[in-house]
């Protein structure tokens, strides 16, 4: 499951892989941090999203439920930060982190 989000910190989820026009690509320049959360446990991911989403300077721009989806989402959304769980199906967090860091995006993991 991949969700691209819009509408700021409490934005509504969009269909899988759909990028948002509501969240500007230069959000970090405007003092906001764009974050993708990658975790296979729905409750844990929702909790992290809720905690980070409560912070006025953080925009949760996407969520993914496995490492492979997380890498794809980071490549398409180019967030400032990717918060990645270590133990996940398909591609674990170590592998996902390696791919994200090796990619062209300046995303911090």
Q: Strand 2-4 to strand 33-38: parallel, antiparallel, or no bridges (unpaired)?
A: unpaired
pTM (predicted TM-score):
0.74
Separation of alpha carbons 50 and 100, rounded Å:
24
* DSSP 3-state of 74: helix
Per-residue pLDDT at 104 = 83
Other beta carbons within 10 Å of 26:
8
In a domain, 108, yes or no: no
Other beta carbons within 10 Å of 92:
17
Write the pLDDT tens digit of every residue in 59-107: 999 999 999 999 999 999 999 999 999 999 899 899 999 999 998 888 8
Residues in the chain: 109
In a domain, 109, yes or no: no
Q: How many domains does the chain contain in total?
A: 1
In a domain, 107, yes or no: no
Range of the domain at 6: 2-102
Write the pLDDT tens digit of every residue in 32-67: 999 999 999 999 999 999 999 999 999 999 999 999
* DSSP 3-state of 83: strand
In a domain, 95, yes or no: yes
């Amino acid at each position: 499951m991949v969700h691209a989000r819009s509408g700021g910190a409490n934005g509504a989820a969009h269909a899988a892989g759909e990028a948002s026009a509501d969240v500007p690509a230069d959000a970090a320049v405007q003092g906001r941090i764009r974050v993708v959360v990658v975790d296979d446990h729905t409750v844990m991911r929702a909790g992290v999203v809720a905690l980070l989403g409560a912070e006025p300077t953080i925009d949760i721009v996407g969520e993914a439920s496995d490492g492979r989806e997380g890498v794809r989402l980071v490549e398409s959304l180019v967030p400032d930060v990717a918060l990645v769980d270590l133990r996940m199906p398909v591609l674990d967090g170590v592998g996902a982190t390696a791919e994200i860091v090796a990619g062209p995006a300046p995303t911090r993991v």
